[in-house]
Structure 1
């Protein structure tokens, strides 16, 4: 049902058969996600780097009546995640157990066509998007989820992702104000509070941008 609802929301499908596009490997933007079943919402700023598989999200998170604020740096190639609590002012370092999930169109995704967000009736009144969906499994909990995601037809920028499972319900993610590239080359270096004195001294060598992808 959520696939039908998404198609109704985004507009009139375009007749031609779409082809997968390639998303920029590095970008920044703002995100909003919600899950009615889990009673949570999240607003944040994201810096995303698919080349070196790392993501930083500064977020305000609400679960029911409880409010939290985190600065989360996930370094998948290093298998490390740094979670800084912006209210408690403490940092937790933990191993990453989940798999990397790219914001590009998965190779096994199924096309649901193209559509306009807004309208194609007037100039600059709408954005043409391409719609793809499928399933993926989270091995750590052995749960299979269904998803539908959208990207802009021009530029292949991520727009939204809806993930559904009987266990977790609908998780709806919106991505907006996207700019291509990384504005601050140091954004993927952990906060000083998350590092030892020795690590902080060597932070560029330990966490700076690698010279090449291994």
Structure 2
């Protein structure tokens, strides 16, 4: 009898363990990123695609007293990043050396429960979020500690805070997200970033580069 009761209690405890929700694989929205130690802030609009590991951000970066405006397209499966300077109109092509980092909840993340942004006292006065955290390992073998929040309904990212001795605290926030990609061509590089031959073959060429077969 005791064994049966113990098994029932274990089963209830396992059933109550929180499980990570699954974020949409494609979404668009605005982001704001700040790092006090690096004296840097970033604000921009992004298109995100975790299916084919690609992201585009049109952003303004403030580093100290300097302001940089760029259009960045990162195609992780092709290991290519295009950086278009919106002021000088120059495009730089460079190799991606860091691995793809998903904005969904990582499989090894630890749950820190749920909370309301705003209030739960009255309807429509708060947003229920789920909180997860853990460690991220950089290509340099440095470890970042992080805590992230996602909407309880829809599992959309809300914020992510990371910390390391070297880089300090970085706070990334997401706003006005919509599920899906409004323009699939957003993942095709600007004409200024391509040769004439590449531009003529842009749909076929970059479709092959960014999609998995």
When normalised by structure 2's length, the TM-score is: 0.90
Unpaired segments of 5 or more residues in structure 1? 1-15
CA contact (8 A) 1:45 1:59 kept: yes
Measure, in 1, the Cα distance between the counterparts of 2:91 and 2:166: 30
- Note closer, same or farther for the CA distance 1:37–1:114 as it changes in structure 2 (3 Å cut): same
Unpaired segments of 5 or more residues in structure 2? 1-15
Equivalences for residues 58-97 of structure 1 within 5 A: 58-97=58-97
Could you say which residue in structure 1 is the equivalent of 2:145?
146
- Note closer, same or farther for the CA distance 1:211–1:137 as it changes in structure 2 (3 Å cut): closer
Deviations 1:3-49 (A, max 9, x none): xxxxxxxxxxxxx7532100000000000000000000000000000
Q: Alpha-carbon deviation of 1:185?
A: 1.0
Could you say which residue in structure 2 is the equivalent of 1:156?
155
Could you say which residue in structure 2 is the equivalent of 1:54?
54
CA contact (8 A) 2:38 2:167 kept: yes
CA contact (8 A) 1:110 1:134 kept: yes
Could you say which residue in structure 1 is the equivalent of 2:182?
183
Measure, in 2, the Cα distance between the counterparts of 1:93 and 1:56: 14
Measure, in 2, the Cα distance between the counterparts of 1:152 and 1:25: 15
Q: Alpha-carbon deviation of 1:206?
A: 1.0
Q: Alpha-carbon deviation of 1:171?
A: 0.4
- Note closer, same or farther for the CA distance 1:84–1:129 as it changes in structure 2 (3 Å cut): same
Could you say which residue in structure 1 is the equivalent of 2:23?
23
Measure, in 2, the Cα distance between the counterparts of 1:211 and 1:142: 27
Deviations 1:54-90 (A, max 9, x none): 0000000000000000000000011100000001110
Could you say which residue in structure 1 is the equivalent of 2:42?
42
Counting helix residues as a fraction of each chain, which structure ranks higher? 2
Q: RMSD over aligned Cα, in angstroms?
A: 1.4
When normalised by structure 1's length, the TM-score is: 0.90
**Count of matched residue positions in the alignment of Structure 1 and Structure 2:** 198
Measure, in 1, the Cα distance between the counterparts of 2:209 and 2:115: 39
CA contact (8 A) 1:72 1:84 kept: yes
Measure, in 1, the Cα distance between the counterparts of 2:164 and 2:116: 27
CA contact (8 A) 2:77 2:209 kept: no
Could you say which residue in structure 1 is the equivalent of 2:191?
192
